[in-house]
């Protein structure tokens, strides 16, 4: 089994179990949280460019709506499976609760290789998938957003599809839209910006000077590329980044702006073929083991595992990706004194600005970038402080502290609402 094909929902529920014991979670509420509220599998027939019909499989899962409408991204990847979507939906529930955004957790995905589809095929797939999940999504029910291999253009197609079927413009149906279609300033950069803010918050707590630190970033997509750029602009020297094409290492610090310019026009927006003086190409696995202060996994889940955790040399892990560290790895890292800022905190910037976008869309009243970035920083820093304080107080990891806060908030909401009927 490939390392990222582990049963992700089992892993997510392992994490919940640990926390349930720590906070003495009511067994009834624990049982409610152990399964998603709703799981939908849809067949997505698409007329391909050669005239033939191909049927793809898509999913939408809503884990828990106790605190508000569900919210979560849509992923296009061959590795998408129901267990992964369920896990990602549960992580969204905890993330929204932790940062106190009034949403529940959802996630969606389509099993496909978007790089093998023409633009027309991608659009038809998106529109049919959107129509397929329409019975359960909605401006006040479940609001999708971009995730791996999906972007603003795809969100625009979803908004248009729902709008055409409903006969009105539904600005609040999806976030991460193009700015011109009701998207929010700062949304594209929000997750990477949040990773940078979390890194600086941690270094500040530890009394470390960001300019004296080095960083390695796994993944150079939406999250990784922005995180690498903003880190390099705010102190830490980014010495390594990777994408699916390989890992690129320059002990003197990479020219992240040069790399960003390169991927604008490269094939599939990959770093393959990128060159700069002093740079070496290393293996993607080795990037995770570099002797740096800060490691940012910002690609896929289950990258730091029981197999490589003992070899990690970074002192701090800031989780840009969802679920990049397995529970086995967590124990090893904790034992070794490596601090991990968990995904539900470190990458929450995306859902926070998605929330701003949703609010702006529902009101058709748009904010300036300064306000967005300020409010994002405030929310993330307040949440960081809450997690840090509880972790110190209870002598637990930041992940356990974050989960304790998040699961308690969700449990409280379920308790207050009661069980229908
Ligand atoms: P993306 O598709 O834009 O980028 C993914 C990147 O990872 C690409 O550069 C790809 O080449 C690279 N990659 C894939 N496999 C790799 C490997 N084995 N080694 C190194 N690089 C590899 O996706 P994204 O939106 O940046 O999402 C990345 C992660 O962040 C995912 O776990 C996602 O769920 C999470 N996340 C995204 C957002 C968001 O706003 N986009 C918000 C929160 C969390």
Tens digits of per-residue pLDDT, 52-96? 999 999 999 999 999 999 999 999 999 999 999 999 999 999 999
The CA distance from 138 to 412, in Å, is 25
Indicate which atom in ligand 1 lies nearest the CA of residue 343.
44
Tell me the per-residue pLDDT of 147-198, one tens digit each, with 9 for 90 and over: 999 999 999 999 999 999 999 999 999 999 999 999 999 999 999 999 999 9
Compute and round to an integer the Cα radius of gyration of the chain. 20
Ligand 1 atom with the shortest distance to the CA of 303: 18
How many helical (H) and strand (E) elements, i.e. helices and strands, does the chain have?
14, 12
Is the minimum distance from the CB of 297 to ligand 1 under 6 angstroms? no
For CA atoms 6, 7, 13, 17, give the dihedral sign: negative
Average pLDDT, the chain: 96
> What pLDDT, on a 0 to 100 scale, did the predictor assign at position 318?
98
Indicate whether this model's pTM tops 0.75.
yes
User: Ligand 1: which of 145, 147, 217, 295 to mutate, judged by most atoms within 8 Å of the beta carbon?
Assistant: 147
Burial class of residue 97 (count of CB atoms within 10 Å of its CB; 0-12, 13-18, 19+): buried
**Bond from prior residue into 165 cis (ω within 30 degrees of 0):** no
**Residue 4 pLDDT:** 47
Q: Is the pLDDT of residue 322 over 50?
A: yes
Q: What is the pLDDT of residue 316?
A: 98
Q: How far is the CA of 160 from the centre of ligand 1 (A)?
A: 25
pLDDT, mean of residues 13-29: 96
Which residue, judged by its Cα, is nearest atom 40 of ligand 1? Answer: 350
Best substitution site from 300, 351, 355, 380 to test ligand 1's pocket, by max atoms within 8 Å of Cβ? Answer: 300
pLDDT computed for residue 270 by the predictor: 97
Q: Considering only CA atoms, which of 204, 225, 228, 202 is closest in space to residue 216? A: 228
To test the pocket of ligand 1, the residue of 2, 101, 221, 226 to mutate (highest count of ligand atoms within 8 Å of its CB) is: 221
Of the chain, the percentage scoring pLDDT greater than 70 comes to 99
Instruction: Identify the band that residue 10 occupies on the pLDDT scale cut at 50, 70 and 90.
Output: very high
Strand-strand pairing, 104-111 and 246-249: unpaired
Q: How far apart are CA 37 and CA 414, in angstroms?
A: 13
**Which residue has a Cα nearest atom 21 of ligand 1?**
243
Q: Which secondary structure element, helix H or strand E, spans residue 145, and what is its range? A: strand 142-146
Has residue 222 got a pLDDT over 50?
yes
pLDDT category, 2, cuts 50, 70, 90?
Answer: very low
- How high is the pLDDT of residue 147? 95
Any atom of ligand 1 within 6 Å of the Cβ of 149: yes
10 Å CB burial of residue 252 (0-12, 13-18, 19+) is exposed
284 catalytically annotated: no
Does the pLDDT value for residue 341 go beyond 50?
yes
The pLDDT, as a whole number, for residue 1 is: 34
The CB of 225 under 6 Å from ligand 1? The reply is no
Catalytic annotation, pick one of 86, 107, 237, 377? 107
Rounded Cα gap, residues 303 and 142, in angstroms: 29
Residue 5 in this model has a pLDDT that exceeds 80: no
With cut-offs at 50, 70 and 90, classify the pLDDT of residue 6.
low
């Amino acid at each position: 089994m490939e390392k990222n094909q582990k049963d992700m929902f089992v892993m997510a529920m392992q994490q919940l179990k640990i926390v349930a014991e720590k906070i003495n979670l009511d067994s009834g509420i624990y049982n409610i949280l152990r399964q998603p509220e709703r799981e939908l599998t849809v067949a997505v027939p698409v007329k391909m460019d050669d005239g033939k019909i191909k049927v793809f499989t898509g999913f939408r899962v809503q884990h828990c709506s106790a605190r508000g409408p569900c919210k979560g991204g849509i992923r296009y990847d061959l590795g998408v499976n129901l267990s992964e979507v369920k896990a990602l939906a549960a992580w969204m529930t905890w993330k929204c609760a932790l940062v106190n955004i009034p949403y529940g957790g959802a996630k969606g995905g389509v099993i496909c290789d978007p790089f093998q589809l023409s633009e027309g095929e991608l659009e038809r797939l998106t529109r049919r998938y959107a129509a397929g999940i329409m019975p359960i999504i909605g401006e006040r029910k479940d609001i999708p957003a971009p995730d791996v291999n999906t972007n603003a253009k795809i969100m625009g197609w979803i908004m248009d599809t729902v709008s055409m079927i409903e006969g009105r413009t539904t600005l609040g149906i999806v976030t991460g839209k193009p700015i011109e279609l009701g998207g929010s300033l700062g949304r594209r950069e929000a997750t990477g910006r949040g990773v940078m803010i979390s890194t600086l918050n941690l270094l500040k707590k530890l009394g470390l000077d960001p300019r004296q630190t080095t960083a390695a970033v796994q993944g150079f997509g939406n999250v990784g590329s922005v995180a690498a750029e903003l880190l390099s602009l705010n102190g830490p020297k980014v010495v390594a980044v990777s994408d699916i094409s390989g890992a690129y290492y320059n002990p003197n610090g990479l020219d992240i702006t040069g790399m960003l310019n390169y991927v604008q026009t490269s094939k599939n927006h990959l770093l393959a073929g990128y060159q700069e003086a002093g740079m070496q190409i290393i293996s993607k696995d080795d990037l995770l083991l570099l002797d740096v202060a800060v490691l940012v996994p910002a690609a896929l889940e289950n990258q730091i595992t029981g197999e490589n955790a003992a070899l990690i040399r970074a002192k701090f892990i800031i989780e840009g990706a969802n679920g990049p560290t397995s529970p086995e790895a967590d124990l090893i890292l904790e034992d070794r004194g490596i601090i991990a800022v968990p995904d539900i905190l470190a990458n929450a910037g995306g859902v926070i600005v998605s929330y701003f976008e949703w609010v702006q869309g529902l009101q058709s009243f748009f904010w300036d970038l300064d306000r967005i970035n300020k409010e994002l920083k405030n929310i993330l820093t307040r949440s960081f402080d809450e997690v840090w304080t509880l972790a110190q107080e209870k002598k637990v990891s930041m992940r356990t502290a974050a989960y304790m806060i998040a699961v308690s908030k969700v449990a409280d909401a379920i308790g207050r609402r009661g069980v229908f009927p």
